[in-house]
Each structure stands twice: as structure tokens, then as C-alpha cells.
Amino acid sequence: MKLIECVPNFSEGRNMQIIKQITDVIEEVEGVRLLDVDPGKATNRTVVTFVGEPEAVCEAAFRAVSKACEVIDMSKHHGEHPRFGATDVCPLIPISGITMEETAKYARKLAQRIGEELKFPVYCYESAALTPQRRNLAEVRAGEYEGLKDKLAKPEWKPDFGPASFVPKTGAVAVGARNFLIAYNVNLNTTSTRRANAVAFDVREKGRKVKDAAGNESWQAGLLKAVKGIGWYIEEYGVAQVSLNLTDISATPWHVAFDTVCECAQKRGLRVTGSELVGLVPLQAMLDAGRYFLEKQQRSTGIPDSEIIKIAVRTMGLDELTPFDPQQKIIEYKMGGKATGKLAGMTLKAFADETLSESPAPGGGSVSAYMGAMGIALAGMVANLSAHKPGWDARWKEFSDWAQKAKAIQTELVNMVDEDTNAFNKIMEAFGLPKETAEEKATRKAAITAATKYAIAVPLKVMQLCADSMPIIKAMAETGNPNSVSDAGVGALAARSGVMGAWLNVKINAAGLDDKEYVTQVLKEGADIVEKAQAAEKEILTIVVKKI
């Protein structure tokens, strides 16, 4: 499925009734999911985030822009943020299954519709720009609303779509296609806008104007690539902020931006007290930030995502001004794309009770995957305990790397708990297909074969993952914290049990398959894994018993 995100910024951040009228028309469009509504009183601006398939998103965006024209009067607007229209900007962002070039085409099509049907000036920017001079939003919006009338009179600033006439109530809109942008404010222990601006000029790519001895002006570049920034004072919170737009987080990750602002603020006698995320952030950016700060502390990064996220939130003070809820602020969590499966999301007791019930699933395959997940989890625990062991500080990175490998395998095995049950359900669905006609029988037979092969492939993968755990478990038995060597031993027992349990599922599913060549190949592969896993278990237990 092609998915794009739209993040329009509306010039109203105080009247929630007006904001709701705009978001209501977005939610009316089928196939669009509203992820976030982030109003700002001081900026008098609301950032809205929604996702969906391209056509649906463009329809929702058009309706939102149209409604903003009705309910927002730019002639009465005042706020801290640069702006030149009721809908100030309306960027489209590729999320999955779609290229930037395709997204830019949708943006231009949307811009054309807005200009022709709503009849006010529309500019295209960034990847949707029709000329290189209009790629930069700051250039497009220069002069803001107050200078828009004079700007429209200049031939070089004729709108890309819509009339070249000033519409006082509506202003203009910039429609673009861009990479994921993080809007991010860093809080300072000052009320001075001038000092906040000084820090912003230190870090932003554009930098600041400087004069040489002869009085000639030039631009002195700032420290961070793909970063825009200004300083402002937020009366609502009584603090000045360095307000940043991170336009390419691969060039400047947001944790690097935070650290750089901290360093520049300190040099100017200021201190960063926290920060504020506007809108949503990708999960990977949050995890990268947490790992970065853990590594600075020489702590293991092979811990659950939830703990990594907590480190990022605490270190950057993301909850200083308002509560920070990862489920609401991380885009994948908000979309539900990273939701835990039905079985994996259960409590231990609920999973055990569901297994005990008369339902045939979860069965031995799911339980085998979970045994394997617990086995490698124990190895990861030993690695984390070793990374933090007093006197072992020089080895923290070694054990952190082992813990990360363990975590990766554990994540896959936990996913396989539900996938084994899904595979069983596919077989049941295939057997339930009609079989009255010759064509129906052929279709049913093909479906049963495909479902059976999948039901073999899933436990075979569980076997391989459990076997892949053994070198990590062995390393922890040999070199890990000696006080936890028994945990490594239990990990080996669980991993071997995961292999053997999944092996039984491979064999019972293979028994009913007509494709004998495939069955022979699979059984040989499975038998090899069993042999290696059993040998590895024996080696590990020998090490464990000797150390005990």
C-alpha cells in the first residue's frame, strides 16, 4: 500500500472550535487517519498530522485548506511563527510504497486544485517546486503575510497556481513534498529572545550575517546541516526557546541538534532545561536518540525499546513543558504499525490460560517460539548485567553489542509466537474452501499446499532463530558475569527446547505434503539444525556446570 503523510500548519492555535472544524473535515475522508493535532497559543498556529493513501490524503488536505479559508481571517492574525496564509504550509511526505518523485506529483496536483477552485495564491516548494528558486520555504514565505501584497505584484513572485492577487482573509499557501521534518524547540533558562536567537544562529545551517573590517557583510555558516532555526520567547511557559526545523534527520539527527544547542548555550552562559517536540517523530529517530545517550553513559543499548525511549525523553527533557506520551508522539505507535500481536501482547497468565483452553491455537509452535524468546532473553540479561558490572567498565561495549544481538533475535521470536498461530489459521481457511467443482477442488488443493508450506516455513525459521541464539548464550556462559552463569545455562535449555518443539511442528506438517522433493529438503535442513543445537547445548552446559 502506498502511504503518505500530510502535515498542514494552520494559522490558528487558540480557538479550539475553529481548529476542530478543520480537523472534522479531515476525519470525514475515508481512508485517512488523523494522528495528531498540536495547537500552540503563543505561535497561534496548529500543526495537524494525518496519513493514508495518496488520493485520500490529497482530498482531505483540500477540504482542510478550504475550511481554513472559511474560518480563519488572516487580517486579524498575530503569532510568533512566520506565516503568510490561513493554511500556511501543506507538505506531503512519503511514508511507504511511494517515491519522493511520485509524492511531488501529488503535491502539484493538489496545489493546482487549490488555486483553481479556491482562487487564492499557491506556491510549490521543496521537492514539488517548479523552479529551483522556490525550493526553500523561507524564500517562498519571505515578507510573510504583511509583505504578501507587494510580493504578488512582482513578476518573479507570480504564484505557481491561483491568481496573483492579494486575498486579505486567506493570504497564500505553500504546498510541498519533502522528507520527514522534525519541528523541535529547545528550552533555555532565560526569557531573552535575543540570546535565544544567538544560539539559534550558532547552530542553524544558514548561520548569521557578519561584517569584515571594511564593513562588508557575509554569511557565516552555522554548525548543523539541514537545520533551520530562530529564537523566541513563549509567554505561556515563561521561557525562551531555540526553535528548530530539522529538515533531514539523516544529516543532523535530533539528538545531535539537542547536544549542539546545549554546548552553544553553555558557552553563552545559558543552560538548556528541556525541549519540546511539535507533532510526531519516527520511532527510529527516538531509538537512535536513546542509544546515543546510553552510549555516552557507557551503558548497554541492548535493552527493550520502551527503556531506550525513556532515556531519550529524560535526557532531552521532552516532558518538561507538557507530558510526553510515546504512544501519541511516535508515528508508528500512533498508526498502530508496531502493535504487538494478539498472543505476544497477553500477560503470562492469559497466554498460559489460552494455551490451556480447548482452542487448538496457540499450540506447540507458538510455545516453542516463546521458549526460544525467553532463552535468548536470558542471554541478553547476562550481557546487560555484565556491561554494568563494577570493575568491568572497559568491556561495556563488548557486552552491549552482545545484548543488541540478543534483542534482535528475541524480537523476531516474539513475532513468531503469533505467526505460528497465523500459519495454523491459514491451513484451516484453506481446508474450508469450497470443493464442489473441479476448478474449486484445484483451487482448494493449491491453497492447502501453499498454507502447509507456510506452516512448515514458520517453525523452521523458529528453529534457525533458536539455533542462532546458541553462540550468544555460549559467549555469555564463557565471558559474562559469573554470578549469572546459571541464567546462561537455562537460556541454552530453553533455546534447545525451542528448536526441538518447532522441529516436531515441521515434521507433522511435512507429513501431509505431496511435494516429496520439498519435504526431503526441509527435513534435512531441520535435522542439521537439531544436531547443531544439541551439540551447542551440551558445550554450554559443560561450561556452566564447571563454573558452578
Q: Contact at 8 Å (CB) between 187 and 317?
A: yes
- The pLDDT, as a whole number, for residue 332 is 78
* pLDDT of 542: 97
What CATH code is carried by the domain that includes residue 253?
Answer: 3.30.70.670
Q: Is 81 a catalytic residue?
A: yes
pLDDT at 377: 97
* 30: β partners: none
**pLDDT for 181:** 85
**Is residue 162 over pLDDT 90?**
yes
What does the alpha-carbon distance between residue 384 and residue 305 come to, in Å, rounded to a whole number? 14
Q: Which of 74-83, 181-190, 395-404 has the lowest mean pLDDT?
A: 74-83
Examine residue 340 and state whether it is found in any structural domain, yes or no: no
Mean pLDDT of 203-225: 93
The 3-state DSSP class for residue 312 equals helix
Answer with the one of 296, 311, 335 that is the final residue of a domain. Answer: 335
> Does 309 fall in a domain?
yes
Q: How confident is the model at residue 338 (pLDDT cuts 50, 70, 90)?
A: very low
Q: Per residue in 81-122, pLDDT tens?
A: 889 999 999 999 998 789 999 999 999 999 999 999 999 999
Q: Are residues 146 and 244 in the same domain?
A: no
Number of domain units in the chain: 3
pLDDT at residue number 343: 86
pLDDT band at residue 339 using 50, 70 and 90 as cut-offs = very low
Q: Average pLDDT for residues 290-309, to the nearest whole number?
A: 95
478: closest CA among 405, 399, 412?
399
Is the model's pLDDT at 337 over the cut of 70?
Answer: no
Given the residues 81, 160, 259, 418, select the one marked as catalytic: 81
Exactly one of 38, 88, 420, 487 is catalytic; name it.
420
Instruction: Write the burial class of residue 392 (CB in 10 Å: 0-12 exposed, 13-18 middle, 19+ buried).
Output: middle
pLDDT at 340: 55
DSSP-assigned letters across all residues of 399-430: HHHHHHHHHHHHHHHHHHHHHHHHHHHHHHHH
Q: Average per-residue pLDDT in the chain?
A: 94
Question: Taking residues 252-261, what's their average pLDDT?
Answer: 96
> How does pLDDT run across 353-382, given as a tens digit for each residue?
999 998 887 899 999 999 999 999 999 999
Mean pLDDT to the nearest integer, 13-30: 96
Domain harbouring 381, CATH code = 1.20.120.680
Could you read off the pLDDT of 22-57 as tens digits, one per residue? 999 999 999 899 988 999 888 899 999 999 899 999
Q: In the structure grid, which three cell numbers stand for residue 185, read together?
A: 524547540
Q: Which pLDDT tens digit goes with each residue over 115-141? A: 999 999 999 999 999 999 999 999 999
The answer on pLDDT for 219 being more than 80 is: yes
Q: What does the H/E/C string look like for 51-72?
A: EECHHHHHHHHHHHHHHHHHHC
Same-domain check for residues 356 and 326:
no
Helix (H, G, I), strand (E, B) or coil at 75: helix
Please return the burial class of 459, using the count of CB atoms within 10 Å of its CB with bins 0-12, 13-18 and 19+: buried
**How far is residue 73's CA from residue 76's CA, in Å, rounded to a whole number?**
6
Q: Are residues 402 and 479 in the same domain?
A: yes
Report CA-CA distances (Å) from 63 to 117, 166, 350.
Answer: 11, 21, 45
Q: 307 and 222 in one domain?
A: yes
- Weakest-pLDDT range from 304-318, 325-339, 379-393, 489-503: 325-339
| SS3 state at 241 | strand
pLDDT value for 341: 67
Whether residue 291 sits in one domain with residue 380: no
State whether 95 and 155 are in the same domain. yes
d(CA 312, CA 301): 12
Contacts for 378-381: CB closer than 8 Å, 24+ residues apart: 378/473, 378/487, 378/488, 378/490, 378/491, 378/494, 379/406, 379/469, 379/472, 379/473, 379/476, 379/488, 379/491, 380/302, 380/406, 380/407, 380/410, 380/472, 381/484, 381/487
Nearest-angstrom CA–CA distance, 71 and 12: 9
Domain of residue 233: give its range.
182-335
CA 1/CA 54 separation, integer angstroms: 10
pLDDT for the residue 497 = 97
pLDDT tier, 334 (very low <50, low <70, confident <90, very high otherwise): confident
Residues 353, 354, 355, 358: what is their CA dihedral angle, to the nearest 10 degrees? 110
pLDDT band for position 449 (50/70/90)? very high
The answer on 311 and 270 residing in a single domain is: yes
Between 193-203 and 254-267, two packed helices, what is the crossing angle to 10 degrees? 130
Q: Judge if 265 and 396 occupy the same domain.
A: no
End-to-end Cα spacing for the chain: 54
In the predicted structure, residue 285 carries a pLDDT above the cut 60: yes
Res 107: pLDDT: 98
* Residues of the chain above pLDDT 90, percent: 85
- My answer on whether 164 and 187 are in the same domain is no
- The answer for residues whose C-beta is within 8 angstroms of residue 303's C-beta and 6 or more apart is 294, 384, 403, 407
- Residue type, position 69, single letter: C
If you average pLDDT over residues 216-231, what whole number do you get?
95
Mean pLDDT check: name the lowest of 324-333, 443-452, 518-527: 324-333
State whether 327 and 370 are in the same domain: no
Q: Which residues contact 23 (CB under 8 A, 6 or more apart)?
A: 34, 37, 48, 64
- Statement to judge: residues 75 and 124 lie in one domain: yes
